[in-house]
Amino acid sequence: MGLSTKHIFITGGVTSSLGKGIIAASLAKLLQSRGISVTIQKFDPYLNIDPGTLNPYEHGECYVTEDGAETDLDLGHYERFLNAATSQDNNVTTGRIYNNVITKERKGEFLGKTVQVVPHITDEIKNNFYKLGKDGKYDVIITEIGGCVGDIESLPFVEAVRQARWDLGPNNILVIHLTLIPYLSAAKELKTKPTQHSVKQLLEAGVQPDILVCRTEHHLPVDVKKKIALFCNVQLNCVIEAMDADSIYDVPLLMKKERLDERVLSKLKISSKTNTELEQWKDFLGKLKNPTMEVDIALIGKYVSLPDAYKSIIESFIHAGTSLECKVNLHLISSEEVNKDNVAKKLTDMDGVLVAPGFGIRGLDGKLEAAKFARENEVPYFGICLGMQIAVIEFARNVLGLSEASSTEINPDCKDPVIFLMAEQKDITQMGGTMRLGAYPCELVKGTKAIAAYGKQKVTERHRHRYEFNNKYLKEFEKHGMIASGKNPDKGLVEIIELKEHPWFVGTQFHPEYKSTVLNPHPLFVRFIKAVGECKQNKS
């Protein structure tokens, strides 16, 4: 454990979904812009080993890192804000902690001791707290504790934070507690009681927060801040107001205005190396708020009632659109509500179509109709993962005349399995962590839309899928105008397909959205939006 590394813990109270991930990412951005090397990790209190087997309705999307870890969507925020990659070590769940401890117990590593929550589980949690600090790479590690203080699940984590303060000593650890100050419209006043109770619960667990970040819809008057400071035992200048913002990308600047980074630096006794350098960030916000054009894009998926299921895709559109000074109006359309009879009505006013990733058979026909409409009407199309496979199946059925073409995921006995399961995946019975996961290389073909977007021949992209394009059919596809413009050099697997005779029709087997950041928008999203804008202008 490198003692030079300082630790910041972020807990949440009153309610979940207050935006701990955004506050963590914003604070990290401010520290990074002062020349401090920082990383963020998320500890999730649920018993799943990782979010890979969770329904997106439960927890939003599952975010995949370069090293192939299926992680919480907050890691996406960390990467998008910091422009730096995370890994398996940046996301730990209760399930993984218990799994590790039980594995050690079975191997006899505890030498006959009774295995208990304290110290064995809490020691394992602390080992994971400190893991990223061992090589001295980071000055500061921010650890977000998921869930809500007071939940049974998060108790061992809060206890581990208490012990960490004891281990690390003053000036090396800081606890930020994020709470909600509700406004009662009938009484016309802000209420501090939920925050007081939340801090009291933390205190009962032996943890005194150093800084309170208060989410609120109204400005906090000084008397309210004084009351919070007095009852929660924190300094007045450590009660930070976090107003609702128009965009999550405003939050770093709002936190800077509230001097969150200054409070953190003084409490951790860190001398800031440089003054905050946020010019590029401000440029981004300037363009975001002053677009010169706008486009309408349909996102066809089956989890549209919870937009968090497509978080990275939605953010990728913001990054890419902003770089082109273009506002992207995303219309989330449920694939179950699209059919042959209404597809034209639903998509006629759209300038572009994106068919989203997903698993399973539900809503498949709607996605096929959307791909067919885009192909036949020369509407720019972007298919991601299943969205690419949909484009392949639709093309096989309606252009190659293989009416029974399908994926073996949908129909294991189909006559023409244009999408199929590779041999090494066939005997797998476990669901979690068994797909093609993480970064794989891809070589692009010259003279294609793909290489025009990237501007280079070799790229790496992140995957999360089990089924692949069946190369047995590739010659037939290419003969009819659907080409493989990107392939995995090691196995010859098709990574990108595109239509030659179409303004922009591209499908990727990988997930480009995982690599898009504020400062580095993904080239395929940029080129897609550019094509959408050009087609829109040509129409008018």
**57 has binding-site annotation:** yes
Say what the pLDDT of residue 2 is. Answer: 42
Interatomic CA distance for residues 381 and 505, integer angstroms: 5
Clarify whether 465 is annotated catalytic.
no
**22 has binding-site annotation:** yes
Say what the pLDDT of residue 497 is. Answer: 96
**358 has binding-site annotation:** yes
Q: Active-site residue among 62, 511, 522, 535?
A: 511
- Residue 240: its H or E element: strand 239-243
**412 has binding-site annotation:** no
- Number of Cβ within 10 Å of residue 16's Cβ equals 11
Q: What is the mean pLDDT of each run of 10 residues along the chain (540 residues)?
A: 79 88 95 93 89 73 88 90 91 93 93 92 95 90 93 94 94 96 91 95 95 94 96 95 93 95 93 80 95 96 88 96 96 94 94 91 89 96 95 96 90 91 61 72 95 95 91 94 94 94 95 95 97 86
Domains and CATH numbers, the chain: 6-282 (3.40.50.300), 291-539 (3.40.50.880)
Structure tokens at 429: 């019975």
Clarify whether 369 is annotated catalytic.
no
Clarify whether 442 is annotated catalytic.
no
Say what the pLDDT of residue 430 is. Answer: 54
- Residue 21: its H or E element: helix 20-32
Q: Active-site residue among 385, 394, 465, 468?
A: 385
DSSP string, 3-15: TT-EEEEEEE-SS
Say what the pLDDT of residue 457 is. Answer: 95
- Number of Cβ within 10 Å of residue 404's Cβ equals 12
- Residue 92: its H or E element: strand 91-93
